[in-house]
């Protein structure tokens, strides 16, 4: 029975490690999906800014402080999005998911996550993230088991001390 339990525990650990690998491997793919969506937001913000700066929307809004405030707001939004994109694109492929976590627009990230379909990464960055996820998943499993293993070790030690002859 002990052998079966050991195999079940090993299988659970391998499953958790595989889940970690599969999850972490999605980081680079998610970063690319985010960059595509971000590019669309940048294009739309630029088009809207152009419309308020001198296009048809500028004629509707007219002149004055309202139009200036709108232009400033859209220019600021466009600048923020471009800074975010530059930070993520300029990061190495291995660091893009980290740059994304630091620079992402939360609304765009949420929309990206909603539409994201996990895939099988076949590039080196995906492999590195998969291996890191495998190691983290395995480490998490070992940490979860540690208190139980320690308790079992203490119980075995106390049993072996109780069984030892007194020598008297």
pTM of the model as a whole: 0.67
Q: What does the block give as tokens for 26?
A: 């999605």
What is the pLDDT confidence band of residue 57, given thresholds at 50, 70 and 90? low
User: Where are the domains positioned within the chain?
Assistant: 1-25+121-156, 28-119
Query: By three-state DSSP, how is residue 78 classified?
Result: helix
What mean pLDDT is reported for the chain? Answer: 84
Residue of higher predicted confidence among 102 and 12: 102
Q: At what angle do helices 124-163 and 2-24 cross, to 10 degrees?
A: 150
**Among 155, 52, 42, 12, which Cα is nearest to 108's?**
42
Q: Which of 15-19, 33-37, 113-117 is predicted with the least confidence, judged by mean pLDDT?
A: 15-19
Total residue length of the chain: 168
**Among 128, 139, 135, which Cα is nearest to 96's?**
128
**Chain segment 121-151, per-residue pLDDT in tens:** 778 888 888 888 888 888 888 888 888 888 8
- Per-range mean pLDDT, top range of 23-32, 62-71, 122-131, 158-167: 23-32
């Amino acid at each position: 029975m002990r052998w079966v339990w050991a195999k079940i525990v090993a299988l659970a650990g391998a499953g958790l490690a595989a889940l970690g690998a599969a999850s972490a491997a999605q980081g680079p793919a998610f970063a690319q999906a985010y960059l595509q969506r971000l590019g669309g937001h940048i294009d739309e913000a630029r088009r809207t800014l152009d419309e308020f700066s001198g296009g048809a929307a500028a004629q509707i809004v007219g002149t004055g402080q309202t139009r200036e405030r709108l232009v400033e707001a859209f220019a600021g939004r466009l600048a923020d999005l471009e800074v975010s994109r530059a930070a993520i694109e300029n990061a190495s492929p291995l660091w893009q998911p980290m740059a994304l976590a630091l620079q992402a627009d939360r609304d765009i990230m949420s929309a990206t996550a909603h539409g994201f379909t996990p895939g099988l990464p076949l590039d080196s960055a995906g492999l590195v993230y998969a291996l890191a996820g495998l190691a983290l998943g395995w480490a998490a499993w070992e940490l979860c088991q540690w208190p139980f293993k320690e308790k079992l070790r203490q119980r075995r030690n106390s049993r072996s001390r109780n069984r030892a002859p007194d020598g008297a």
